[in-house]
């Protein structure tokens, strides 16, 4: 089956400034693609290019097997939900939702039927006569989604739709969007700067920085095997620990040495046959460091470390220690006996460890 969206070698520049460089992405019917990255990374521009709201400087865009590179937005068979919702302020909710159909000259009966269907799906039937100004943030969000859903397009585009909502509502709407995706089987491209949103919603994630794609993959690929230091640092909260380390060959495996300020170096062993340089950045997620005795596995190694800080977070307790000149966060069980200033035996689970080259930042294993 042809991909529902196929972007090839897309470039975008404003004058001399290159905003997007050589973007290649393809998704299949029913995929939920999340574009994630820090502000200014070009993710919203890429979405606007897909929508046809921004002309592209090079490459091609195909939607549902048709070349849409130079097609105007209204003929691309897409619907879009905007960050500010962009509801038409003088029209009622019902008129907002049916405006697109009215413009396209769809008959009244079909309009009413579709309106009722969508209003029912989003539970906004009681709001249809209100003006956008009389709605709460969450209700506006629903209406904006209704306006997109009623189009029944090949591709939905979401531009940071939850960023104007408060934290609680954001989580609710996130679940709702996910549910909607599962019931409708819709193909979605979704822009966010929130990596948790990306992880929870996506079937595929594109991590971007400076107009360049850093990595494309499933949430678990992105999380467990980040392609470079940027992705490793950006995805996950608290962030992955990135610790400078010295590597020496030790039989078929490696001996990894992490310098410490006042104690002898921390030594770990990775028995796997890898091809590593002498200096690496070792990447270990906070949950891969536990209190000794609480983690088992063939790659678990224990060592005593000085605890600098203890941060209880309810379900977990985060413990910060200084290793290799970096603050290293470990995610411990809630009832840990860790005390700031006291040593604690920590278990390092190297099963999911990542190695990065210090200069290029690229992944080594």
Q: Quick check: 286 and 238 in contact, CB under 8 A?
A: yes
Nearest distance, CB of residue 161 and another protein, angstroms: 12
Q: Does residue 82 bind another protein (CB under 8 A)?
A: yes
Q: Quick check: 348 and 302 in contact, CB under 8 A?
A: yes
Nearest distance, CB of residue 140 and another protein, angstroms: 13
In 3D space, the residue among 43, 341, 4 whose CA is nearest the CA of residue 211 turns out to be 43
Among positions 105-164, residues that touch another protein (CB under 8 A) are 147
The one among 15, 17, 39, 89 contacting another protein by CB under 8 A: 89
The three-state secondary structure class of 226 is coil
* Number of neighbours of residue 208 by Cβ within 10 angstroms: 25
Q: Does residue 94 bind another protein (CB under 8 A)?
A: no
Preceding peptide of 238 cis, ω within 30°: yes
In 3D space, the residue among 171, 196, 212 whose CA is nearest the CA of residue 10 turns out to be 212
The one among 73, 238, 244, 253 contacting another protein by CB under 8 A: 73
Q: Which stretch binds another protein (CB under 8 A): 10-18, 100-108, 111-119, 296-304?
A: 100-108
Write the DSSP symbol of residue 66.
E
Task: List, in sequence order, every residue forming a beta bridge with 217; answer none if it has no partner.
Answer: 205
For another protein, the closer of residues 52 and 211 by Cβ is 52
Q: Which stretch binds another protein (CB under 8 A): 30-38, 87-95, 174-182, 259-267?
A: 87-95
How far apart (Å, rounded) are the C-alpha atoms in residues 63 and 167?
34
For another protein, the closer of residues 78 and 208 by Cβ is 78
The one among 9, 55, 70, 84 contacting another protein by CB under 8 A: 84
Binding residues (CB under 8 A) for another protein: these are 48, 51, 53, 72-74, 78-80, 82-84, 86-91, 99-100, 103-104, 147
């Amino acid at each position: 089956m042809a991909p529902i969206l196929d972007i090839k070698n897309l470039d975008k520049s404003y004058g001399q400034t290159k905003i997007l460089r050589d973007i290649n992405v393809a998704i299949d019917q029913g995929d939920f693609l999340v574009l994630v990255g820090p502000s200014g990374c070009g993710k919203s521009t890429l979405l606007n290019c897909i929508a046809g709201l921004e002309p592209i400087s090079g490459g091609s865009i195909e939607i549902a097997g048709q070349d849409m590179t130079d097609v105007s937005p209204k003929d691309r068979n897409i619907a879009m939900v905007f960050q500010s919702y962009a509801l038409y302020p003088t029209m009622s909710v019902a008129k907002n939702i049916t405006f697109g159909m009215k413009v396209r000259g769809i008959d009244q009966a079909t309009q009413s039927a579709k309106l009722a269907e969508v209003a029912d799906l989003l539970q906004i039937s009681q709001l249809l006569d209100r003006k956008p100004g009389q709605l709460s943030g969450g209700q506006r969000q629903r209406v904006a989604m209704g306006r997109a859903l009623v189009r029944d397009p090949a591709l939905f585009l979401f531009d940071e739709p939850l960023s104007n909502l408060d934290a609680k509502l954001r989580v609710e709407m996130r679940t709702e969007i996910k549910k909607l995706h599962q019931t409708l089987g819709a193909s979605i491209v979704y822009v966010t700067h929130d990596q948790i949103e990306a992880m929870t919603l996506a079937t595929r994630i594109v991590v971007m920085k400076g107009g360049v794609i850093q990595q494309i993959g499933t949430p678990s690929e992105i999380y467990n095997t980040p392609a470079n230091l940027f992705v490793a640092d950006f995805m996950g909260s608290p962030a992955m620990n990135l610790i400078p380390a010295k590597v020496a060959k030790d039989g078929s495996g490696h001996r990894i040495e992490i310098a410490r300020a006042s104690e002898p170096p921390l030594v770990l062993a990775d028995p796997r046959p890898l091809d590593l340089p002498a200096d690496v950045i070792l990447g270990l997620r906070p949950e891969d460091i536990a209190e000794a005795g609480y983690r088992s596995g063939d790659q678990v190694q224990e060592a005593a470390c000085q605890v600098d800080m203890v941060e209880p977070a309810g379900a977990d307790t985060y413990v910060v220690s200084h290793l290799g000149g970096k603050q290293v966060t470990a995610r411990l069980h809630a009832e840990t006996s860790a005390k700031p200033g006291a040593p604690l035996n920590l278990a390092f689970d190297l099963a999911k460890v990542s190695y990065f080259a210090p200069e290029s930042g690229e992944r080594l294993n």
